[in-house]
Chain A
């Protein structure tokens, strides 16, 4: 039966990640880094990947990973969301790792799994499961790539790019040395996960998957990414709820704690109920991904629709219920709001996930 709880091992992993993040990436440090050239702290990633092993959790031990599963990876995503820490976890340890694994690119996979190297999948960040194979980049018969991709996540620190492109033989995924692409950094809404534009001008590339294999590898990455992103959103929502509840207990107005007003209690109670549901859906999606359940696309679409909206709502409530302090740059609420809003677009908006889900569960759209 589907296990929707957390195992003891998962809880230990959570604690390790949380302790490390509290030490290396408290929100004050995340905030300080935002406007520097290095929003991702390389030392933090080294500690997460090297000491705790978060980068290769779902990769088999013989392939260089930890031999755990996407359930454990989802717990890491929760904690990263909780801390709004800047790391290439989603782009490299989830999306690129799935592509590399499906493509059988074993040397690349080993480097990603121990975190010594990172990679990004060169697709627009709002590419969603079920989308048509991207055609923005063309591959020549000699195997060079030409084209441009806007709004890519986790490309800034990537050593390698995995580029879906259409060549003479149809769709394929190519591996490119990141330094061979022209990268332009975007001034991003969410500075904790900044975007880049990538351009390829006859860049030499090596095909790692072709035809149906390429389609399947990209789709698997998008579905798994959506499933794991839901846990990041859950962690973010939980943190916003916790922060808000703490504030309502300590902030006095009209000689009473704010949290004693029923109007505010009911709002956070409803939010708590939404977060509780988000946890069930995120755990279900993670468990499906871990067990390669055929229901994974359904689970990921449901989780994305619900967890995206819950994370945004939690961040918006966090801002509003903090009042003036919540609108300042010095308070972390805006970090969560920006990440939540960006996450709602990352890998497809809730509405697109619902449209996708409709085709999976035989509830056809209107034919107007």
Chain B
């Protein structure tokens, strides 16, 4: 297993063989990123040949720091967060060798953007109840057979799909057998977003802009070679994606006083006229909460350094959502009437000027307050996360109901 010293040596070799400053433009950048991937320095904890070296995950920071110091281009991780955080670990865990080789390299270099086709208008918290149908051409899709070959024809509607308008590929969960109970009749696919049956429409949200999309799937053709995991194993495969998503949402490394608390602290320092004793104690409580969430995420990353994300990621995400909402609500009231000067509802531009990431820092208190409302809904509502903690961490029994045993087609909808 490579050490930090060996990784630094590999970085030096990469930089010697591939000058990151040679040439300009996107192609030079892509060339360098491909070379970095091939040198095993993309994600060092991935296996050799797939952008990694089988090294401990925490050594990635060594590589990143060396390359940043050398002025090397990065893969703009904010733009490809779904690919890096969700699609990649799922492909690695459940994909075939061929799928891993085909998808991981352009995913990591950013040549191919990914999106996630999970939620549906009728299946939010109850994701396993989703109704998008995938039928094996020739009509044998309902029997859950494992024979290879043949195409799947997919029809349905997905929602809350960020980056769908830029994505080359999607990870998709669809129902392949409605006669089975809901968790058993799902299968996981890679979907080609260039298929003529895929239609992407921007979905405007309460902040005025459109981060997300609705995606309409009409007889989309997916070759069986793009199935990820076995027929009927879609729920199990999706768990890998969801656990990684929650760690990604709740667990990023950040310095003290960053994120939403930065804006509240700045407002406090810049506006002495707004200060009251009550607000001061509230601010300090929130400042400590922000540190608690930050240090908890740091501790979680230290625990994860060797292993895979577990349900603990749900706690980080739960805490992050509540923190953002409380702080942004506090800051809004602290600012008083000026908080009501919203800035820009993107009345004309919402469908064309699409944000790539959520920019809490570069926006107004009103935006922060409204956008934080999504934090407890996206990626698993806070209510569902509490159920996950109660059942999977604390071992409390499920609420008694029949939805796990009845055929999906017979469930009330």
One of B99-107, B134-142, B298-306 contacting the partner: B298-306
A257 to B398, CA, bound (A): 10
Which residues 296-349 of A have a CB within 8 angstroms of B? Answer: 302, 305-306
Contact partner, A269, options B280, B387, B398, Cβ 8 Å: B387
* Contact flag A245-B268 (CB < 8 Å), given A281-B291, A354-B288: no
* Contact flag A354-B284 (CB < 8 Å), given A272-B389, A368-B277: yes
One of A72-80, A214-222, A260-268 contacting the partner: A260-268
One of B108-116, B190-198, B311-319, B404-412 contacting the partner: B311-319
Which residues 312-344 of B have a CB within 8 angstroms of A? Answer: 312, 315, 318-319
By the criterion CB–CB under 8 Å, are B394 and A305 in contact?
no
> Which chain A residues border B277 with CB–CB below 8 Å?
365-366, 368
- Of A262, A268, A277, most B-chain CB atoms within 10 Å: A277
Q: Does B65 contact A (CB under 8 A)?
A: no
A277 to B399, CA, bound (A): 27
By the criterion CB–CB under 8 Å, are A367 and B275 in contact?
yes
Q: Which residue of A has the minimal Cβ distance to B296?
A: A280
* Contact flag A306-B288 (CB < 8 Å), given A363-B269, A366-B277, A367-B275: yes
One of A2-10, A63-71, A152-160, A198-206 contacting the partner: A2-10
Q: How many B residues are at the interface, by size bracket?
A: 35 or more
By the criterion CB–CB under 8 Å, are A5 and B396 in contact?
no
Contact partner, A265, options B295, B296, B386, Cβ 8 Å: B386
CB distance from A103 to the nearest CB of B (A): 32
> Which chain A residues border B288 with CB–CB below 8 Å?
302, 305-306, 354, 357
CB distance from B125 to the nearest CB of A (A): 12
Q: Which residue of B has the minimal Cβ distance to A259?
A: B396
Q: How many A residues are at the interface, by size bracket?
A: 35 or more
Q: Does A273 contact B (CB under 8 A)?
A: yes
By the criterion CB–CB under 8 Å, are A363 and B265 in contact?
yes
Q: Which residue of A has the minimal Cβ distance to B397?
A: A260
> Which chain A residues border B293 with CB–CB below 8 Å?
277
* Contact flag A276-B390 (CB < 8 Å), given A5-B302, A362-B269, A368-B277: no
CB distance from B57 to the nearest CB of A (A): 14
Q: Does A45 contact B (CB under 8 A)?
A: no
Q: Does A279 contact B (CB under 8 A)?
A: yes
A368 to B289, CA, bound (A): 26
> Which chain B residues border A245 with CB–CB below 8 Å?
394-396
By the criterion CB–CB under 8 Å, are A354 and B281 in contact?
yes
Q: Does B400 contact A (CB under 8 A)?
A: yes
A260 to B268, CA, bound (A): 44
CB distance from A321 to the nearest CB of B (A): 12
Contact partner, A366, options B275, B387, B389, B400, Cβ 8 Å: B275
Q: Does A283 contact B (CB under 8 A)?
A: yes
By the criterion CB–CB under 8 Å, are B396 and A268 in contact?
yes
CB distance from B333 to the nearest CB of A (A): 15
Q: Which residue of A has the minimal Cβ distance to B301?
A: A4
CB distance from B14 to the nearest CB of A (A): 25
Q: Which residue of B has the minimal Cβ distance to A262?
A: B399
CB distance from A280 to the nearest CB of B (A): 4
By the criterion CB–CB under 8 Å, are A351 and B281 in contact?
yes
> Which chain A residues border B280 with CB–CB below 8 Å?
355, 358, 363, 365-366
- The 8 A CB mask of B260-296 against A (1 = contact, 0 = none) is 0000010011001001110111011101110111011
What 5 A-B pairs come out closest when comparing CB atoms? A265-B390, A354-B284, A259-B396, A366-B275, A269-B386
Q: Which residues of A contact B (CB under 8 A)?
A: 2-5, 245, 248-249, 256-257, 259-262, 265-266, 268-270, 272-273, 276-281, 283-284, 302, 305-306, 351, 354-355, 357-358, 361-368
List 26 A-B pairs, Cβ < 8 Å. Answer: A3-B302, A5-B299, A260-B397, A262-B399, A265-B391, A266-B387, A269-B389, A269-B393, A272-B315, A272-B393, A273-B315, A276-B312, A277-B295, A279-B299, A280-B292, A280-B296, A302-B292, A305-B284, A306-B288, A355-B281, A358-B280, A364-B269, A364-B272, A364-B275, A365-B280, A368-B277
